[in-house]
Structures are given as C-alpha cells and as structure tokens.
Amino acid sequence: MNTTNEPLSVERMPGAPLIITKHSASFWRVTLDNPPINLMGPDMVAGLQRLMDIIEADTQLKVIVFDSVNKDYFVSHFDVVRGGELPQVSGKLGVTQWVDVSNRIHNAGVISIAVIRGRVRGIGSEMILACDMRFASKENAVFGHLEVGMGLLPGGGAAEYLPALSGYARAMEIAVGADDFSAEIAEKYGWINRAFSDAELDAYVDNLATRISGFELPALQATKQTMLKRIGGGPNPFEIQESSNKFFELYQRPEAQALLAKLMEIGFQTESDTESRLGHYLGTLATK
C-alpha cells in the first residue's frame, strides 16, 4: 500500500464538506472542503459527527489523516453567522455537538493525524488538538487562537488541550495575545508535533500513517488506551463543555457583538485580507 497508488475510493460525504479517500481498508484520509475559507459551520460539524459514527462502526480502520483542499485555510474558524444552528444536545454524553465530535476524535479506537497547510484558528486548532498527532508546513501554516481579540475565550477545547502540551505560560501567550503564530513557534510550543518544509511534509505523514496501517490493531489500541489512561484520559468533555458555555455567555454580550459587527464590516468570514491577517487586524482594532 502506498499513497501514490490509486486509492480504493474517493467520495464526498453527502451534505457535508468532507471528502473521504480510502487508501486502504486500514488507512483513510478525510479532506476538509468548505470553500472559500473552510469555515467550521453546522455542515462540517455534523459531517464530522457522522464520520465518527462510521469510524466507530468500522472494524478494519487503523489510521485516519485529516487535511484540507484549500492550502490557505485548513480551517479558518467557527462560523459565527450560522453557529446558532448547531444542536445544543448531541451524542451520548448530553453535550453540544462540537464537544461530542472533539471527544470522539480524541478517544477513537483509530489513530488520528492532522496535516496542516494554511490558517488554522479557533475551532480549527481545537479540531487538530483533539487528534492524536499534528504536523504542519513550515512555509504555509499559520496558527491562532484569536477569540480573546473578539471579546470571547477559546471555548472548544484549547483551554483543555493546550496547557498540557505547551505549558501554562505559552498557552496564556497564545490565548490572551490573540495573535497568529508560525509553524516553527507552534512546534517550539508543542502545539504541533513537528513542522516540516512543505516539500517534506506529506512524505513524513504518509510514511507514518502507512506504517501504522500495517501494524497490528490490538497493539495500536492497547498503546493508545494505555497512553490515554496515563494522561488521566485527556481533556474531560464536561470541562470542554464548561468552557464552551463560557464562550457563548461572552458571545451574547453587546460588546462582543459590536466587535464581531466591526469585523464583519471589514471582511470577516469572507476571503479577504482581514481573514488572511486576522491576528494583525485584531491588534489594530484593539489599540487604535
């Protein structure tokens, strides 16, 4: 098996901005495709939830790689316009749909790897943090938790995942600075496993995923279970829910709505320089 070979199948999930490529029965690729800037909206969250249903029911799958069609945006951020459409209770734990998705990626019996090109901010960063591993392009990846700059807080897992990986001080710099970071700094801070030059990134990840897909499932599962147990299970979904509730509490304040309205006026949620250099624009908005 080799990712340069013809895949078994390439299919778009009906009604969802996700393309599922089956390189083999044990190695799938899930490609995010929500033009123009890969916003994480209701269709993508619902699609990821259905994906987890499929993955959890599959008995041969060992490893899944997440990437994006758009090389400028892995995931821009949460779709604040359509965010209200997301189900408030979803899945077996009685949590909101995103918290259910995040928790199921993290605890899946399969190994998950994110490959990042382009901007990955807010809920996009929280999605890759729920994966077992993350690798990014040195030239093209940009990382940000910009919520505080919009009067909000990182409420979809970052407060739970990041401090354990980067330490409290670097998680605070990321969160309260609300600025964009390079892949090199993301690597230094443990936000990602490693940054590779764009030309080397796919070779590393494809080789890693291909190895994993050839190893024995009982060994992979026992290892992941043991590692998860040793970190106390990882983030507690009810703690992520608590942060998420705080996010929506801050979101409903007139001050946050006013900030978001100003951002919408200058191109937020569209293919624009504002989205491209969002960290910069938030600084300008805050300090002028």
Among 22, 50, 82, 194, binds a copy of itself (CB under 8 A): 194
Nearest 5 degrees, angle CA 243-CA 127-CA 53?
Answer: 105
Least Å distance, CB 249 to a copy of itself, is 8
Q: How many distinct helices (H) and strands (E) make up the chain?
A: 12, 11
Stretch that binds a copy of itself, among 43-51, 85-93, 115-123, 186-194 (CB under 8 A): 186-194
Cis peptide before 154 (omega within 30 of 0): no
Taking each helix axis as running N to C, give the angle between helix 237-251 and helix 158-166, from 0 to 180 degrees, rounded to the nearest 10: 120
Tell me how far apart the alpha carbons of residues 211 and 148 are, in angstroms, rounded to a whole number. 40
Among 127, 136, 186, 256, binds a copy of itself (CB under 8 A): 256
Among 65, 99, 123, 171, binds a copy of itself (CB under 8 A): 171
Residue 254 found at the interface with a copy of itself (CB under 8 A)? no
Residue 255 found at the interface with a copy of itself (CB under 8 A)? yes
Residue 194 or 277 with smaller CB distance to a copy of itself: 194
Least Å distance, CB 94 to a copy of itself, is 21
Least Å distance, CB 247 to a copy of itself, is 9
Nearest to 166 by CA among 189, 199, 192: 189
Give Cα separations from 146 to 78, 93, 176, 177 (angstroms): 11, 28, 8, 8
3-state SS assignment for residue 62: coil
Residue 154 found at the interface with a copy of itself (CB under 8 A)? yes
Residue 93 found at the interface with a copy of itself (CB under 8 A)? no
Which positions from 198 through 227 interact with a copy of itself, judged by CB under 8 A? 207-208, 210-216, 218-220, 222-224, 226-227
CA 278 to chain centroid, in Å, comes to: 18
Residue 165 found at the interface with a copy of itself (CB under 8 A)? yes
Cβ atoms of residues 130 and 150 within 8 Å: no
Tell me how far apart the alpha carbons of residues 46 and 123 are, in angstroms, rounded to a whole number. 14
Among 54, 176, 203, 261, binds a copy of itself (CB under 8 A): 176
Which positions from 116 through 135 interact with a copy of itself, judged by CB under 8 A? 131-134
Stretch that binds a copy of itself, among 31-39, 69-77, 191-199, 263-271 (CB under 8 A): 191-199
Cβ atoms of residues 142 and 276 within 8 Å: no
Least Å distance, CB 230 to a copy of itself, is 5
Q: At which residue do the structure tokens 């200058």 appear?
A: 266
Tell me how far apart the alpha carbons of residues 119 and 141 are, in angstroms, rounded to a whole number. 6
List, in sequence order, every residue forming a beta bridge with 21; answer none if it has no partner: 10, 29
Least Å distance, CB 141 to a copy of itself, is 16
Residue 61 found at the interface with a copy of itself (CB under 8 A)? no
Among 41, 122, 149, 237, binds a copy of itself (CB under 8 A): 149
Which positions from 222 through 251 interact with a copy of itself, judged by CB under 8 A? 222-224, 226-228, 230-231, 234, 239, 243, 246, 250
Residue 29 found at the interface with a copy of itself (CB under 8 A)? no
Radius of gyration of the chain (CA): 18
